[in-house]
Amino acid sequence: MNGKLNISPGLPPPDISRIQESFGMVASHGEQMVSRFYDVLFDKFPEFQTFFPQSQLSRQYAAFLNGLRTLILHMENPQKLRSILVQLGERHKRYGIKNKHYPPVVYALVQVLTELGGEGMDGKTYDAWESF
């Protein structure tokens, strides 16, 4: 692997809708969602705690939620989304994040969305988030 991000040119419109709708159902619980996300991430993958100093965690919560909202907002514009993802990837690379670190993050996010989204997180929506 060459270390470059493999970013698809765009998601199918039904997947975009599923992701946006499911996020809309939990967005009003943003702080709870993010707090739970880090609980799940650190519980299942304790090695991730080294990337997030406890003293900066509240700032990280806000950054994560804002970043997620920005990604959701630009999902229908693949060029803009790609640009945002590349910038995000470059920033995370400086923190020592590697491609292998992304699947656990997706796992934790999907788990929390499933917990908070209830019936809005059906199988197709779950798959859409994993593809995103």
pLDDT tens digits, 90-101: 998 998 899 899
pLDDT at 8: 53
pLDDT band, very low/low/confident/very high, at 2 (cuts 50, 70, 90):
very low
**What's the predicted TM-score (pTM) here?**
0.82
| Interval 4-15: pLDDT, tens | 444 455 788 999
**Distance (Å, whole) CA 16 – CA 10:** 9
Buried (b) or exposed (e) across 116-130, using 16+ Cβ within 10 A?
A: bbeebbeeebbebbe
What is the pLDDT of the chain when averaged over all its residues?
A: 87
Q: What pLDDT, in 10s, does the model give residues 34-89?
A: 999 999 999 999 999 999 888 888 899 999 999 999 999 998 888 898 899 899 98
